[in-house]
Amino acid sequence: MSKILLLEDDPNLAKTLIEYLSLYHYNTTWTKNGEEALDASYENKYDLYLFDINVPLLNGVDLLQSLRDAEDFTPTIIISAQIDVASVTEGFSAGADDYVKKPFDPEELLVRIQAKTAKLKKIIKCKDFELDMQTEEIRQNGKVLSLGTVQKNILLSLIRNYPNPLTKEEIFLLLDKPTDLALRVNISKLKKNLNITLENVRGVGYKII
């Protein structure tokens, strides 16, 4: 069952959406303001964000921008009564994947949600690794890997970026203490523990080869 984080301050609309989406096996968490949504995004992993813009404390666009800045790229659909070009542009600039104008037909929204969540069900294959995009489970030669948080996040990013390199700056964002030494240590551990070849692309970063 896919999980959705809904940010909507209209309780009637929120209730309607929760009931409707549950018919199609979506588990929806409802938050009434941006701060609640932000906390929920840190405490749980969701397959999709569904954000209104004009909500209390922290508006949907600013919330989305904060999440993207924190390397959270969960697919996001904005639902808003603001239909002017400037508002739509602002939403996409913040990192939205889609924009639905209120009032909307629930069936139209469902189609858009299904399109976004379907993409998460695919498997990415890279050398002898398989990454389940929905669960973020990584298998190597058919065996599920058990890694620490930092090394798993680095490997996830390396696989997603393949065949392109993951930059040093991107790796730093995944480290608890971003230093050159910490970077080298984690790369070395991945090489040793998984017996994989990581190329140091001079002046850029690392990639799987």
Per residue in 110-155, pLDDT tens? Answer: 888 887 877 665 778 888 898 887 678 899 988 999 888 999 999 9
Residues of the chain with pLDDT under 70: 1, 84, 119-121, 134
Structural domain boundaries, residue 46: 2-121
- Regarding whether 139 and 111 lie in a shared domain, the answer is no
At residue 183, the pLDDT reads: 94
- Regarding whether 130 and 113 lie in a shared domain, the answer is no
CB 49 within 8 A of CB 64: yes
Q: Among residues 188, 189, 192, which one has the least CA distance to residue 200?
A: 188
* pTM over 0.85, yes/no: no
At residue 111, the pLDDT reads: 85
What's the number of domains the chain is made of? 2
- End residue of a domain, out of 68, 91, 121: 121
Residue 45 belongs to what H/E stretch?
A: none
Total H helices, total E strands in the chain = 8, 12
- End residue of a domain, out of 121, 146, 170: 121
Task: Supply angle C-alpha 14, 17, 19, rounded to 5.
Answer: 110
**CA dihedral over 139, 75, 172, 170, signed as positive or negative:** positive
- Regarding whether 201 and 110 lie in a shared domain, the answer is no
At residue 206, the pLDDT reads: 92
Long-range contacts of 82-85 (CB under 8 A, 24+ apart): 82/53, 82/54
Quote the CA–CA distance of 155 and 142 in Å, as a whole number: 16
- End residue of a domain, out of 59, 89, 121: 121
Angle between helices 34-43 and 60-69 (to 10 degrees): 30
Strands 205-208 and 198-201 come out as antiparallel
Residue 61 belongs to what H/E stretch?
A: helix 60-69
At residue 1, the pLDDT reads: 65
Long-range contacts of 180-188 (CB under 8 A, 24+ apart): 186/150, 186/151, 186/154, 187/154
- Regarding whether 183 and 112 lie in a shared domain, the answer is no
- Regarding whether 110 and 18 lie in a shared domain, the answer is yes
